[in-house]
Amino acid sequence: MPTEPQASTAELVRRVAKGDRAAYFELYQRFADRVFGLALHITRHRATAEEVAQETFLKLWTAADSFRPEQGRVSAWLLTITRRTAIDRLRYEGRRPELDETLDIEADWLINLASGVSQSDEARWHSLYFALQQLPAEQRHAIALAYYFGLSHREIAGYLDIPLGTAKTRIRLGMEKLRDAWLSDASEQA
Amino acid sequence: MTMTEKHQEIRPLLAMYALGGLDAEERSVVDGHLVDCKDCQRELARFSEVADGLLQAVPPQAAPGTIRRHLESALSRRVKPAPVRRSPALAWTRLALGLGLAALVGVNLLLAANVSQLSQQVRDLASQVDRNQTGLALMTYPTVQVAELQGQTVFGTLVYDPARRVAVVYAWGLPHLPPGQAYQAWFRQDSQDRVNGGLFQAQDPDSFTVVVVEAPEALASYTGLGVTIEPATGSPGPSSPTVFSADFH
């Protein structure tokens, strides 16, 4: 169940849909670092990531009235737009995905105290990040190629030079481990 | 196929479904099964939580101040259209752009509704819509400029912001090239050197070709853009006559 202050961020989006600039920049303040972080993670290029982040927030301005609170968090909606925009940019530029080989388990985790996100949510996401880094490299890479770079099963198999069935298995096994870690974390926090 | 057999076939696909990586045909098969299978609905919901978490799990990075400044500039002109400097001869350009974009949106909707088309066509469509969105987003910037394309059989406009590295080309009448060839964009410098702006193919000779070109530096560093026909793998420099060009103001 979402624990972010839905009434707060969803209300801000409603106000943005009516042209409220103050609400818009409040949302920017809360989510810019996450949006830029995801854009940079996918594109691996700061200037491109800036442009992806700008496009994301411009889409927020023009499409705020399309957000439906019953479908999930504002942050997930924004990050989905970011992911889609970054992947399309990579595809258009014909750039090959760059997998990050460094196990950055203790990466600097920039906490935005003004984001309105609860500490328990931050902790769960940090744990999921840790669980992802703990996966066997072959499973982590397959999931990253699928989700962060938008490749299909066949494209992943081609990129990693493995059979199609192997690509499917690696994704399934990796996601099952992440699912178990995610659910285990939820029960610990309950 | 029994329900149990179907269930065993579908279950391994749920993780990839949550990651958005199934093609249209696979997604349709899973959707059909999900209608009646509560177990798979629950399983998919869990995988979807993980997928959402994967978005949130990427470490945040301090967003550069330039992003907010650009957004403030864009929104400061929200009520009125962004001022666009153009020559009087381009008075027809806005109408042509509007009609062309409307036709492109109409074509996009038709293609998207045709579910028997393979996922590659859907991806091509998404890229085309994204190019349109890039152009539309660029037009909201207060310092956006429009330059007329100069060519013997090709005409149209180049939309760009001198402070940015990305520009959008709207070109009418650009013919398809034979296999093994591609159009290559070049940014022209004061020194007359040419810097690669990327390869592309014509989309439809009877309609617009929309291309997003990108330079290594802000476009204010260049005097214009030119396009030549090169090998499909690209060329280190222009090796054929210019098909069309545009001068930056």
Q: A98 vs chain B: nearest CA distance in angstroms?
A: 15
A34 contacts B58? CB cut-off 8 A: yes
Instruction: Tabulate helix, strand, coil % of chain A (nearest 5).
Output: 75, 0, 25
Per-residue DSSP letter, B85: B
- Model confidence over B53-65: pLDDT tens digits? 999 888 889 999 9
Task: Domain A1-100: give its CATH code.
Answer: 1.10.1740.10
What angle do the packed helices A137-147 and A164-189 form, to 10 degrees? 90
* Pairing mode of beta strands B194-200, B181-188: antiparallel
**CB-nearest partner of B74 from A58, A89, A111:** A58
Q: Chain A partners of B49 at a C-beta cutoff of 8 Å?
A: 182
pLDDT value of residue A1: 46
Q: Average of pLDDT values for B189-195? A: 81
A139 CB-side CA count, 13 A? 17
Q: Where are the beta strands (DSSP E) in B51-180?
A: 145-148, 150-151, 155-160, 166-172
ipTM of the complex: 0.84
**Which residues belong to CATH 1.10.10.10 in chain A?**
118-190
Q: A61 vs chain B: nearest CA distance in angstroms?
A: 9
Is residue A164's pLDDT more than 80? Answer: yes
Helices and strands, counts by H and E, chain A: 8, 0
Distance, in Å, from the CA atom of B248 to the CA atom of A2, rounded to the nearest integer, reads 50
**CB-nearest partner of B75 from A37, A61, A93:** A61
pLDDT value of residue B102: 61
Tokens coding A68? 């439906």
Is residue A167's pLDDT more than 60? Answer: yes
Distance, in Å, from the CA atom of B109 to the CA atom of A120, rounded to the nearest integer, reads 42
Q: Chain A partners of B64 at a C-beta cutoff of 8 Å?
A: 36, 46, 50
Is residue B110's pLDDT more than 90? Answer: no
Tokens coding A137? 């490299």
Q: Tell me the Cα Rg of chain A.
A: 17
Q: Which residue has the higher pLDDT, A104 or A52?
A: A52
* Pairing mode of beta strands B155-160, B166-172: antiparallel
Distance, in Å, from the CA atom of B249 to the CA atom of B234, rounded to the nearest integer, reads 28
How many Cβ atoms from other residues are within 10 Å of residue B155's Cβ?
A: 17
Point out the least confidently predicted range of A101-110, A153-162, B74-83, B183-192: A101-110
Q: B72 vs chain A: nearest CA distance in angstroms?
A: 9
B21, closest residue in chain A (CA to CA) = A152
Is residue A55's pLDDT more than 90? Answer: yes
With CA atoms as reference, report the closest residue to A61 among A12, A17, A122, A125. A17
- Model confidence over A92-135: pLDDT tens digits? 877 777 776 554 444 444 444 445 556 677 778 888 888 898 99
Q: Average of pLDDT values for A73-82? A: 92
pLDDT value of residue A158: 92
Tokens coding B223? 């005097």
**CB-nearest partner of B63 from A33, A88, A143:** A33
Q: A56 vs chain B: nearest CA distance in angstroms?
A: 10
**CB-nearest partner of A50 from B49, B50, B66:** B66
Cα maximum dimension of chain B: 72
Is residue A29's pLDDT more than 90? Answer: yes
pLDDT value of residue B83: 37
A168 contacts B198? CB cut-off 8 A: no
Q: Strands across the sheet with B181-188, in order?
A: B150-151, B242-247, B224-231, B181-188, B194-200
The domain spans of chain B are 3-56, 92-247
Q: B75 vs chain A: nearest CA distance in angstroms?
A: 8
Tokens coding A136? 């066997």
Whether the Cβ atoms of residue A160 and residue A151 lie closer than 8 Å to each other: no
Q: Is the C-alpha dihedral spanning B76, B78, B81, B82 positive or negative?
A: positive
Q: Which residue has the tokens 């992943």?
A: A156
**CB-nearest partner of B58 from A28, A41, A94:** A41
**Which residues belong to CATH 1.10.1740.10 in chain A?**
1-100
Q: Sort A16 into a burial class: Cβ within 10 Å, 0-12 / 13-18 / 19+.
A: buried
pLDDT value of residue B64: 94
% of chain B residues with pLDDT over 70? 71
A51, closest residue in chain B (CA to CA) = B67
Q: Average of pLDDT values for B132-145? A: 65
B59 contacts A107? CB cut-off 8 A: yes
Q: Which residue has the tokens 């070709």?
A: B209
Q: Which residue has the higher pLDDT, B40 or A71?
A: B40
How many Cβ atoms from other residues are within 10 Å of residue A158's Cβ?
A: 13
Task: Domain A118-190: give its CATH code.
Answer: 1.10.10.10
Q: Which of A50-59, A63-72, B187-196 has the highest mean pLDDT?
A: A50-59
pLDDT value of residue B232: 84
Interface size between A and B, measured as CB pairs under 8 A? 163
Q: How confident is the model at residue B233 (pLDDT cuts 50, 70, 90)?
A: confident
Q: How confident is the model at residue B71 (pLDDT cuts 50, 70, 90)?
A: very high
B58 contacts A37? CB cut-off 8 A: yes
